[in-house]
């Protein structure tokens, strides 16, 4: 099963992709995660772009994605999160692979901004929290699980989020016109409710 998950910042698409990846035993491929884990000389250049809320150039993004999709674990399928992010990327993706289903998650800007600015990540064990919504840490600065320091992504500032949401509407939403197999899910529900709705609607077999 080759799935695409599309939604604005804060819609919970990364969370849903992670859950589905475990349930379906197919890899969760997030271009944002790949960019954040880069090392070496490329890292500085990419970080600069990302931290301002801008898109990484298409050529570099596609090259990185292509390398990832060629790995053995993608043979059975994958969940793509964060790609394609514009029409050019969608057209390039069509040349590489077919997509079975697109999951679109919707969310209003106000909720999106609140969720994103409340997002925290444990520096040590990488668990995600949110100081306004669930999963809420007991102490807003410390990880419940390991005691590590909770940090904010550099692109989760209000300015960068507004820029990212603007780009989402202008460049990413038009991508949906390229697909006719779209399942639309309301992002203003709990994580569990969203997962259930996705699973039920896709009639996915899970254990
Ligand atoms: P979010 O969906 O909340 O913006 P991501 O982790 O998906 O978070 O992406 C973080 C950043 O990585 C984006 O703002 C962008 O700069 C870069 N990025 C991710 N995917 C792409 C892509 N397909 N094309 C260009 N840039 C990308
Ligand atoms: Zn932790």
How many whole angstroms separate alpha carbon 72 and alpha carbon 97?
15
pLDDT given at position 165: 97
> Which residues, 6 or more positions from 54, have their beta carbon under 8 angstroms from its beta carbon?
163, 167
Provide, rounded to the nearest whole percent, the portion of the chain with pLDDT above 90.
94
Q: Is the pLDDT of residue 202 over 90?
A: no
Q: pLDDT confidence of 107, banded at 50, 70, 90? A: very high
Q: Is 22 exposed, middle or buried (0-12, 13-18, 19+ CB in 10 A)?
A: exposed
Tell me if residue 85 is catalytic. yes
Q: How many helices (H) and strands (E) does the chain have?
A: 8, 8
Tell me if residue 164 is catalytic. yes
Tell me the CATH class for 2-107+171-202: alpha beta
Ligand nearest to the CA of 88: 1
Atom of ligand 1 nearest to the CA of 116: 3
Q: pLDDT confidence of 206, banded at 50, 70, 90? A: low
Task: List, for residues 139-157, the tens digit of each pLDDT value.
Answer: 999 999 999 999 999 999 9
Chain-centroid distance of CA 107 in Å reads 14
**Bond prior to 84 in cis (omega within 30° of 0):** yes
Atom of ligand 1 nearest to the CA of 35: 12
How many whole angstroms separate alpha carbon 68 and alpha carbon 57?
17
Within 13 Å of residue 60, how many CA atoms lie on the same side as its CB? 12
For residues 84-106, average pLDDT: 96
C-beta neighbour count of 23 within 10 angstroms: 15
pLDDT given at position 203: 75
Going from N- to C-terminal start, the domains of the chain cover 2-107+171-202
DSSP 72: G
The rounded Å distance from CA 58 to ligand 1 centre is 11
Pocket test for ligand 1, best of 56, 58, 173 (most atoms within 8 A of CB): 56
Q: What pairing do the DSSP bridges indicate for beta strands 2-6 and 78-81?
A: parallel
Atom of ligand 1 nearest to the CA of 32: 6
Pocket of ligand 1 (CB under 6 A): 9, 30-32, 35, 49-50, 53-56, 61, 82-83, 85, 89, 155, 164
pTM of the predicted structure, to 2 decimals: 0.91
Entry field: residues in the chain: 207
Q: Which residue's alpha carbon is nearest to atom 8 within ligand 1?
A: 32
Tell me if residue 153 is catalytic. yes
Task: List, for residues 184-199, the tens digit of each pLDDT value.
Answer: 999 999 999 999 999 9
Q: Which one of the listed residues 68, 101, 120, 164 is annotated catalytic? A: 164
How many whole angstroms separate alpha carbon 145 and alpha carbon 130?
14
Residues with CB under 5 A from ligand 2 (ion): 122, 124-125, 143, 145-146, 148
For residues 21-42, average pLDDT: 95
pLDDT given at position 152: 95
For residues 3-23, average pLDDT: 96
Q: Is the pLDDT of residue 32 over 90?
A: yes
pLDDT given at position 134: 83
């Amino acid at each position: 099963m080759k799935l695409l998950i599309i939604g604005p910042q804060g819609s919970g698409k990364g969370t849903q992709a992670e859950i589905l990846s475990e349930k379906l035993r197919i890899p969760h491929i997030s271009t944002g995660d790949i960019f954040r884990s880069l090392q070496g000389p490329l890292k500085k250049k990419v970080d600069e772009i990302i931290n301002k809320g801008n898109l990484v150039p298409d050529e570099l993004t596609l090259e990185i994605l292509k390398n990832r999709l060629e790995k053995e674990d993608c043979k059975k399928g994958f969940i793509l999160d964060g790609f394609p992010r514009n029409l050019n990327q969608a057209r390039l993706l069509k040349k590489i692979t077919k997509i079975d289903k697109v999951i679109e998650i919707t969310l209003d800007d106000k909720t999106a901004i609140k969720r994103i600015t409340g997002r925290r990540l444990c520096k040590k064990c990488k668990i995600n929290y949110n100081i306004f919504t669930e999963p809420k840490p007991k102490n807003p600065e410390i990880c419940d699980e390991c005691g590590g320091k909770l940090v904010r992504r550099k692109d989760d500032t209000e300015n960068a989020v507004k820029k990212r949401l603007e780009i989402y509407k202008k460049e990413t939403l038009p991508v949906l016109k390229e697909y006719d197999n779209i399942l639309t899910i309301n992002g203003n529900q709990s994580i569990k409710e969203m997962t259930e709705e996705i699973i039920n609607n896709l009639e996915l077999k899970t254990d």
